[in-house]
Amino acid sequence: MARMRAVDAAVAVLQKEGIHTVFGVPGAAINPFYSAMERHGDFRHILGRHVEGASHMAEGFTRARAGNIGVCIGTSGPAGTDMITGMYSASADSIPILCITGQAPLARLHKEDFQAVDIESIAKPVTKMAVTVREAGLVPRVFQQAFQIMRSSRPGPVLIDLPIDVQLTEIEFDIDSYEPLPPYKPQASRAQIEKALSMMLDAERPVIVAGGGIINADASEQLVRFAEITGVPVIPTLMGWGTIPDDHPLMAGMAGLQTSHRYGNATLLSSDFVIGIGNRWANRHTGSVDAYTEGRTFVHIDIEPTQIGRVFNPDLGLVSDAGAALEKLVEVAEEWRQAGTLKDWTSWANSCQERKQTLLRKTHFDDVPMKPQRVYQCMNNHFGRDTCYVSAIGLSQIAAAQFLHVFEPRNWINCGQAGPLGWTVPAALGVRAADPDRTIVAVSGDYDFQFLIEELAAGAQFKLPYIHVLVNNAYLGLIRQAQRMFDMDYCVQLAFDNINYPEDQKQASGHYGVDHVAVVEGLGCKAIRVKTPDEFGPAIQQAKEWIATYQVPVVIEVILERVTNIAMGTELENVNEFEALAETLEDAPTALGNQRLSAD
């Protein structure tokens, strides 16, 4: 046993749990914790410009690699409330992050001290555990419990609030005998798996809906193996995108009201059996439950018991970690294949492939200002299979999901349920902090970009380079499109007569407002403005050269036409296709296996 401050014990536990990178903003009430990190000397701390930004960096860090847990640290009061959006985003998508806040002294709680707030109560609805530690001796064990809770069952965030006097109190603690607690992950039995597969054998047109739980379980290889053994097509959810490569013959496309493919919706509607693994039947995926479930049998496998039956009651529900379930699904399916028990669904899989090659949206527009569809065509043409895309919300995210291609798990990093504006920049920085080698490309609209644009300074300071494709239509595009049902265009315009905007760029852009190039450069990063498809390829090459030279984020601002409506609807069978559909493969060069256009 050794005598140490409670914060020194907490920091030692962080190290034992594998934490070496943290994000945050120091302040008076959390300075003791910072003194412990400085004393231990084995932490990489990335200083956010806004505590919400730091919480999204922690999210990006977790999402980037299996086993990661991002840590966000802040002082008392507004630092904790600033973290709430990050905790909500992490909770909604089953992402473990640890948020640590300082607090007023114990004797001053509930006395309206400066920057004192009951953050424990505020955070409880959006965390797996939120606790203000009132006994110094509990500090290391609360941290130990936090890591077990974050990793167990459905992963999620935890908040630990530390009064300043608790932080400074000396305790007895033996770090040498410390061991992380094993997480709890339920596992389906063989009998349950056999029941699910026997139900699949009764189907003529089965599909697998692959959710984000498969990525959390690091089980994408098992998913692909299960699909290949059975020959059953896969429909990833938005959070499960990348579990199977987009060009895999059994990848049938995403289904949904917005972030979906025409062929994915058509295949889901043509199916008669759905086995969902690690998914939650999100409303943007299903549309109305009655239309989604009509004529289909459902098996739902999820790690969280209360998730099964939450949206609709499946015909069979199994509580299991996605990885554990897939291991048994592969084992049993292989045995049944060798025994000749499995059905031959080749004809069904071939029909899914035919839809994939024909039900396409047009991308090859030559318009200037550019249409967003052409931007994503250019991105497909110029970024490789290993590219990791980061995106948040809005028409930019919806169009990205419709037109980009993802080939590996964790190469689509997205806040799927919460969708907070401003998420993209800090999340991309967190991904870069977790992975120094991967090609990282963020995509956002101009409003998302402006929300937490100041975090680019952290990217410059801490050498966290990535490419940010900023699609600028000077509009709150998704809200403008939604306002059509009210026959209005109200309070959603971002363009204004910026007296400092470069005169030679005004006419070329067709619209202007914030001079993003000037702001980005003022924050220590590099930026380039693109107005035509021909300029996109050279801009990417320039961005790569700048990254190699300066090791800072590089923004490519693409000037879009002001109004483009992106395909979406109220039901899977009623998605409104506003723009022209592809009549030939040449009209949709984002189709996999298609010849790229030299113009890009």
Q: Which of the listed CATH numbers 3.40.50.12780, 3.40.50.2300, 3.40.50.1220, 3.40.50.300 matches domain 190-358?
A: 3.40.50.1220
Which residues lie below 8 Å from residue 143, measured CB to CB, with a gap of 6+? 10, 13, 14, 17, 160
User: In which residue are the tokens 């890009």 written?
Assistant: 600
Whole-prediction pTM value? 0.94
CA 233 from centroid of its chain's CA atoms: 24
> CA-to-CA distance for 360 and 592, rounded, in angstroms?
11
Report residue 81 as tokens: 């409330």
Whether 190-358 and 372-587 share one fold: the answer is yes
Q: Using alpha carbons, select from 157, 286, 271, 273 the residue that is nearest to residue 211.
A: 286
Identify the DSSP state of 360. -
DSSP helix/strand/coil, 250: coil
Phi, psi of 555, rounded to the nearest 5 degrees: -105, 130
User: In which residue are the tokens 């592809």 written?
Assistant: 582
Asked if 39 and 54 count as a contact pair (C-beta separation under 8 A), the reply is no
Report residue 515 as tokens: 């001079």
DSSP helix/strand/coil, 74: strand
CA 123 from centroid of its chain's CA atoms: 21
- Cα angle for residues 10, 14, 15 (degrees, 5° grid): 120
DSSP helix/strand/coil, 532: coil
Q: Using alpha carbons, select from 321, 362, 375 the residue that is nearest to residue 186.
A: 321
> CA-to-CA distance for 267 and 212, rounded, in angstroms?
20
Q: Using alpha carbons, select from 106, 116, 122 the residue that is nearest to residue 163.
A: 106
Kindly report the CATH number that applies to the domain delimited by 2-177: 3.40.50.970
Determine the pLDDT at residue 485. 80
DSSP states of 168-232 as a string?
H-EEEE-GGG--PPPPP-----HHHHHHHHHHHHT-SSEEEEE-HHHHHTT-HHHHHHHHHHHT-
Report residue 111 as tokens: 């006395």
First to last CA, the chain: 65
Element (H, E) at 235: strand 234-236
Look at strands 2-5 and 170-173 and give their pairing: antiparallel
- Cα angle for residues 488, 494, 500 (degrees, 5° grid): 150
Asked if 287 and 311 count as a contact pair (C-beta separation under 8 A), the reply is no
Which residues lie below 8 Å from residue 599, measured CB to CB, with a gap of 6+? 533, 534
User: In which residue are the tokens 């790569």 written?
Assistant: 544
Q: 128 to each of 7, 125, 195, 364, 440, how far by Cα in Å?
A: 22, 8, 32, 46, 30
Give residue limits of the domains in the chain: 2-177, 190-358, 372-587
Q: Using alpha carbons, select from 376, 386, 359, 326 the residue that is nearest to residue 253.
A: 359
User: In which residue are the tokens 């790690």 written?
Assistant: 303
Determine the pLDDT at residue 507. 62
Determine the pLDDT at residue 114. 76
Bridge partners of 389, per DSSP, are 412, 441
Mean pLDDT by 10 residues, the chain (600 residues): 93 96 96 95 94 97 96 96 96 97 89 85 97 97 98 97 97 95 96 97 97 96 98 96 95 93 93 96 91 95 95 96 97 95 94 90 85 91 94 88 94 89 96 95 93 97 97 76 78 78 70 88 96 92 96 95 82 83 65 48
> CA-to-CA distance for 578 and 261, rounded, in angstroms?
14
CB atoms within 10 A of CB 4: 19
Determine the pLDDT at residue 594. 47
> CA-to-CA distance for 183 and 59, rounded, in angstroms?
20
Which residues lie below 8 Å from residue 385, measured CB to CB, with a gap of 6+? 245, 407, 408
**Any idea of the CA torsion for 75, 80, 82, 85, to the nearest 10 degrees?**
140
Asked if 515 and 500 count as a contact pair (C-beta separation under 8 A), the reply is yes
Determine the pLDDT at residue 583. 64
Q: Using alpha carbons, select from 139, 192, 408, 166 the residue that is nearest to residue 321.
A: 192
Q: Using alpha carbons, select from 562, 565, 382 the residue that is nearest to residue 469.
A: 382
By residue count, the chain amounts to 600
Asked if 367 and 561 count as a contact pair (C-beta separation under 8 A), the reply is yes
Identify the DSSP state of 561. P
Q: Which of the listed CATH numbers 3.40.50.970, 3.20.20.70, 3.30.70.1290, 3.40.50.620 matches domain 372-587?
A: 3.40.50.970
DSSP helix/strand/coil, 116: coil
Catalytically annotated residues: 25, 51, 421, 476, 479
